[in-house]
Structures are given as structure tokens and as C-alpha cells.
Structure 1
Amino acid sequence: MNPAPSSEHQDFVDALRRDGFRFVAGEDMRTHLQRHGSLQDWAAFAASWNDLAPDTYLASVGRHRRRRHAVFRVDRDGAIARQPHQPHYQSLNYNALQGDIERWFEPVRDDVANGATLATVLGFCRDFFGLLAPQAPGWHIELHQFRIEARSDEEGQPTPEGVHRDGVDYVLVLLIDRHNIVSGTTTIHTADGSLLGSFTLTAPLDAALVDDARVFHGVTAVTPQDPTREAHRDVLVVTFRAAGMADAIADSDD
């Protein structure tokens, strides 16, 4: 399931082992992704963020976010398969705002889940994260399409729970689009809150690779550049958790 490190993957592996994170510029990320497949449907893939459903859990506390969610699995042979729709669950240990809640979100559309771009992104993650944990028998994958909305009277909160960990092994955050917004800086921290690094995803395919077991991350609030116009930040978040750990959590908590 896990290929031998190529030179470009080894650079990422070294960065995550050394620092716990890596920022990748969009054009560089495009090159890496295209070694794993096609981005031929990128325009339709990106446009699907216009069809996300309101996050009713956050709306209840006056915050504005739209999202869709899907679960995949990677088996020992490396095959990636979508799983039946299921809730997103985090314990209070990882999400003080909405932990210990089974949150049901609208599913990722079939055309997006079955498209070339998503297959390429998941293939990249499988091969890269597999290099970091070659002993993993497989992976439980969750992906989230997020649109954070900023308004003239209310800033958007990409991470309303604050600086946090997701409770997984590895995370990819991939920028799809940012429209009429300022800020949205990603910050990486140690467990005691010390800042390890920061960067801002500004161009399509700008990416953050994160070792979630080692570091904490957060994103600063976004505000409209022009308060008279619609403003949003679109990202794809993909989390990988070793399948054995995911099964144990499901057995004990769900």
C-alpha cells in the first residue's frame, strides 16, 4: 500500500517529521497532485462549493459556515472506497465547542466524490501519509467541504473552536477559493501554545500538511475586503486516521 519515498514526497516527509507541518504553495501542490492523477474536472469541483448546505450546529451560536461531509476508507491493498454516510464525531478533548455530539451534515455530492480531482487528492494523501506511517493497516478518511462566510457586521471564523487538534493522525487543508476576504492566517502551535509557524493560504491549491498528533493548529478570523460584497473562504479538509484506531473509537463512542 505504501510506495517507496520519491524525492518530492521525501521532502514533505522530512518536514513533517522535523516540524510537524508543511506549507505547500499552490503551483508546487499542483505538480505533486498531478503525479497521482488528473485535475481535469477542477472547475466543476471548485464550483461545487456554491452548493454547500448551512452548518446548522454553528448557526445556533450565530456563526456562518456551509459544509458537506463524506467518509472513505483505504484498505491494505490501497483501494479507496466511499463508506455509508455517517455523522462526524469529535470528543470534548478535541472540540470544546461541539464535542461529544454526533453531527450529521449533508453528504458530499456523488459527482464530486466520484470525480477525478477528489480521486487525485485522496491518492496523494494515501501515498504521502502512508510514508509517514507504513505500519498502518488502512485508513479511516473524513473529508469536509467548508465555506466560511464573512459579513460586514460579523467576521467569519474558520476555526471557531480556537487553536486545536482534530484527534486524527494527519490533516490536509487545501484552499479552493477565497473571495473578497482578508486575513485567514493559519497558525501552528506546540501543546503549550508556543507558536511554531504561520502562513496564509491565498491561491487555489495552497495547502497545509499537518501531523495532528504532534501539533495544534488554528486559523484567524476573516473579514470582507469590501463590506458591500459577498465574502467567503473555501477549503477542503481531509483527515486520515489509522483504521484500527478509528474502529476502536467507533466501538467505544458511537
Structure 2
Amino acid sequence: MSYPLVEACHAARRPAPPAPPPFAHHGPALLTEALARIPEEAVRAFTASWNDLPADAHLGAGTPYRFRRYGRFRIAGDGLERLPHVAFFQDRAVNKVSGGVARMFAPLDDTVACGPVLGAVVRTLREHLPGPRTGTDLCGVHQIRVTATDATDGHPAPEGVHRDGHNYVAQVLIRREGVLGAESCLYDLAGRAVHRASLSAPLETIVLDDRRVLHGVSPMRPAPGARRGVRDMLLVDFFPGR
């Protein structure tokens, strides 16, 4: 004989399953495997597109050190649906430096936005989010280059330790040459460091739950013997459709 009320009480006392860790740090193999079926020339063209990023006009720096493009997509089945180009906006509560300002960045080049590489990368990252992905069907894609010289340090995160205001954020290293610093660090919501890494191998990736951890990147400067340091990143923000 079953006793539904008793069974319900026992079920109510069972502890909830633990939440997955709020981030994952992947080596290059994750995305290397995802791109294995794509022609090498398409992958080379994708990474070379970082050479054609315009300066970020919203930094207010006399000498530009950050260059970027931006685009938005709906993740539809096995493909990406490009959405109309709009300004990038963050609330001041999550970005005390640039929040509250509609920042218009140059759009992604058509060959990047419509090419097979971006679609494969975004779909793979979405499959490896550190939490539920149901309903998380929009994404913002940022191509960012930060440079440093003897005269000008590069600041990958001029806003310091922050959140982006999305559900999940993926950080993919594309290129790192002649760089000291630029250490990625994650913090719990109390401000305690929980993970540090200097992304060094192309396609090395951190995927984080932006609601459960803060993140920042230390300033960078040229390595000894290098006149210029370059760090290219692909950032993908995942958020619900609306």
C-alpha cells in the first residue's frame, strides 16, 4: 500500500541536486574538434579578421588600445540567424565604467557573421554552458583586440572586476603574442578569487555563469623583447530571447 502524503513529505525533505560549478575552463581541444570538419582556409580567414577591427571609440583614451566589432544572433536549430545591428548596452549596475551608455560598435564583417566557423563555435559553446540552456537562444558576439606598447598599457577589462549582465559568457582566446599580464580571474559574488588563468593557447576557453561569478582581466604590457603585445579574444554572451 502506498501513502502519497508520506511519500510527498519524504520527497520534500530530499536535498535539491547541487548546482553545476559556475564556470568551466576548456583547453583548445573543445573548439579544435568542433572546427575539424570546416575547411582550413575558412578557419584562417576567421582568425585573420581580427586584423581588420576598428578602434573602440568609447574608451576615451588618447591612444587607442582596444579594437572591436559586435553582432547579435538568434540560435535557431543548427544555424545562426543574424539580427539587426544595434548598440551594445549594459546597465550601470553591472558596468560602472561604460554602463548606462548605448555603445555603437562596428558590425561584424559578413564573412564572419555568415561563415561556418562562428556558427560551429557558438553552437559548441552553448552545448557546454555551466547550467541550463533552455530558453537561452540569443547571443551577442564580440571580436576584440587589445594591444600594448612601451608607451601604452592594454586594459582588456577597463571596467575592472564586473559582470556583463547576461546569463552566460564565453571567453575564447584567438591570439596572444608578445604579452605579459592579461590574467583572467573569476570571483564569487563576495569578491573572493575562485579561478585564475593566463589564456595562452589559441581556442583555450572559459565559459562562465554571469549570474554566479564576477570576472576581470589584469592589464597587459609587452613581453621582454617585444615592441608590441597583441591579445585577440572572441566573447560570446548568451541570454534569453525577447
Query: C-alpha offsets along residues 182-204 of structure 1, whole Å, 9 cap, x if unaligned?
Result: 12111010112101111111010
How far does the alpha carbon of each residue in 1:197-246 deviate from its partner, in whole angstroms, 9 at most, with x for none? 11111010011011111000111111101466222100000000011xxx
Quote the residue 2:48 is aligned against: 47
SS in 1 for 2:171: strand
Match of 2:185 among 184, 187, 207: 187
- Is the CA contact 2:31–2:121 (under 8 Å) kept in the aligned structure 1? no
DSSP-derived class of the 1:154 partner: coil
What does residue 6 of structure 1 align with? none
User: What is the Cα deviation at residue 23 of structure 1?
Assistant: 1.1
From the superposition, tell whether residues 87 and 62 of structure 1 become closer, same or farther in structure 2 (CA, over 3 Å): same
User: 2:48 corresponds to which letter in structure 1?
Assistant: A
| Structure 1 position 134, deviation (Å) | 4.6
Distance, in Å, in 1 between the alignment partners of 2:122 and 2:39 is: 12
Q: What's the counterpart of residue 113 of structure 2?
A: 113
Q: Residue by residue, what CA displacement relative to the aligned partner does 1:158-203 show, whole Å, maximum 9, x if unpaired?
A: 0000011100001111000011111211101011210111111101
Which stretch of the first structure deviates more once superposed, 117-126 or 193-202? 117-126
- SS of the residue corresponding to residue 44 of structure 1 reads helix
8 A Cα contact 1:53 1:68, kept in partner: yes
> As a proportion of its length, which structure holds more helix?
1
Query: CA, structure 1 residues 163+60, in 2 after alignment: closer, same or farther (shift >3 Å)?
Result: same
Q: Is the 8 A contact 1:151 1:227 kept in 2?
A: no
Aligned 8 A contact 1:174 1:237 in 2: yes
2:202 partner SS: coil
Q: Which residue of 2 aligns with 1:165?
A: 163
Go from structure 1 to structure 2 and tell me whether the alpha carbon gap of 1:28 and 1:241 turns closer, same or farther (over 3 Å shift): closer
Cα distance, 1:38 vs structure 2: 2.7
- Could you say which residue in structure 2 is the equivalent of 1:20? 22
- Contact 1:152-1:227 at 8 Å conserved across structures: no
Aligned to 1:133: 132
Counterparts of 1:19-38 in structure 2, within 5 Å, are 19-31=21-33, 33-34=34-35, 38=38
Q: What is the root-mean-square deviation of aligned Cα atoms in Å?
A: 2.1
The one-letter code matched in structure 1 to 2:105 is F
* Further displaced range: 226-235 or 114-123: 226-235
Gaps of 5+ in 1: 1-15, 248-254
Q: Given the superposition, is the C-alpha separation of residues 197 and 127 from structure 1 closer, same or farther in structure 2, using an over 3 Å criterion? A: closer
Q: Please, which of 197, 200, 203 is the counterpart of residue 199 of structure 1?
A: 197
For structure 1, which segment, 90-99 or 17-26, has the greater mean C-alpha deviation from structure 2 after superposition?
17-26
Cα offset, 1:128, TM superposition: 3.1
Aligned residue number for residue 8 of structure 1: none
CA–CA separation in structure 2 for the residues paired with 1:217 and 1:134: 21
* C-alpha spacing 1:212/1:224, structure 2 compared with 1 (3 Å): same
Secondary structure at 2:102's aligned position in 1? strand
Q: CA offsets per residue over residues 41-92 of structure 1, 9 Å max, x none?
A: 11111110000000010144766200000000125x5652000111100010
1:10-47 Cα offsets, whole Å, 9 max, x none, are: xxxxxx9443111111134422x248x63631111111
* 1:132 Cα deviation from its structure 2 partner: 2.9
TM-score using structure 1 length: 0.81
Please identify runs of 4+ aligned residues in structure 1 that moved more than 6 A: none
Worse-superposed segment, 77-86 or 45-54: 77-86
The answer to whether the Cα contact below 8 Å between 1:72 and 1:82 also exists between their aligned partners in 2 is yes
CA apart distance, 1:126: 3.2
1:155 alignment counterpart:
153
Report percent identity of matched pairs.
31
Which structure 2 residue ranges, 5 or more long, are not aligned?
Answer: 1-17
Residue identity opposite 1:25 in structure 2:
G
**Across the two proteins, how many residue pairs are aligned to each other?**
224
For 1:47, the aligned partner's letter is A
| C-alpha separation in 2, matches of 1:30 and 1:101 | 36
